Amino acid sequence: MARTRQTRPPDTEVDTATLILDIAERLVQRRGFNGFSYADIAAELGITTASLHYHFPGKAELGASLITRYAARFADALGEIDARAVPAADKLEAYCAIYRGVLSEHRMCLCGMLAAEYETLPDPMREAVVAFLDHNLQWLAALLESGRATGNLRFADPSDQAARSVVAALEGAMLVSRPYGDTAVLDSVADRLVAEFSARPRPLDR
């Protein structure tokens, strides 16, 4: 196996691994981790399952790589929101827009899908899912607390509890939206969340 790695062009290896991750991510977000096999990916790429095992020895390794990549992208998105010189309410709206963007592609949050299958996941994947959720909640709690400190956001609960409520509402709204094939339910929930936390009037109240 080591000799094979030395003889393959590095750019081809990276491109193939990325394509595998892209397809696997889409399949997880639409079917769940247990809803696809290596054969599904191999068929779509037109390669053998042996080629998949070259890049990812087992499905557990593939799953761990998926979470690592997704968490890094999500962290980048949160960092981009942090960098905006706008009020906390606008940052909360931008945070909700991340979920809207995923659902608009007829996908679910990767780690939300994996959380639904938590009991069947390998231990390293379980730990990675929890780490993702912890980071997400910590970032959101910090945003909410900073918004409350400046008077831009208003809520009574401790910020960590409020953060859990926001994430639970958005993840749940994605699930309810999914059978309808659009983002209407999620849009409504996200708009209500932003309005309630920022004490802004909702469109229907104007």
Domain residue spans in the chain? 60-205
pTM as predicted = 0.85
* CA 139 from centroid of its chain's CA atoms: 14
Q: CATH number of 60-205: 3.50.50.60, 3.30.420.40, 3.30.450.20, 1.10.357.10? A: 1.10.357.10
pLDDT of 33-81, one tens digit each?
A: 999 999 999 999 999 999 899 999 999 999 999 999 999 999 999 999 9
Kindly state the DSSP code that residue 86 receives in the 8-state scheme.
S
* CA 98 from centroid of its chain's CA atoms: 8
pLDDT at 135 over 60: yes
pLDDT of 188-204, one tens digit each?
A: 999 999 999 986 554 54
Q: How far is CA 116 from CA 18, 69, 172, 185, 198, in A?
A: 25, 19, 11, 20, 31
Look at the block and give the residue holding tokens 């699930």: 175
pLDDT at 8 over 70: no
DSSP helix/strand/coil, 106 = coil
Amino acid at 10: P
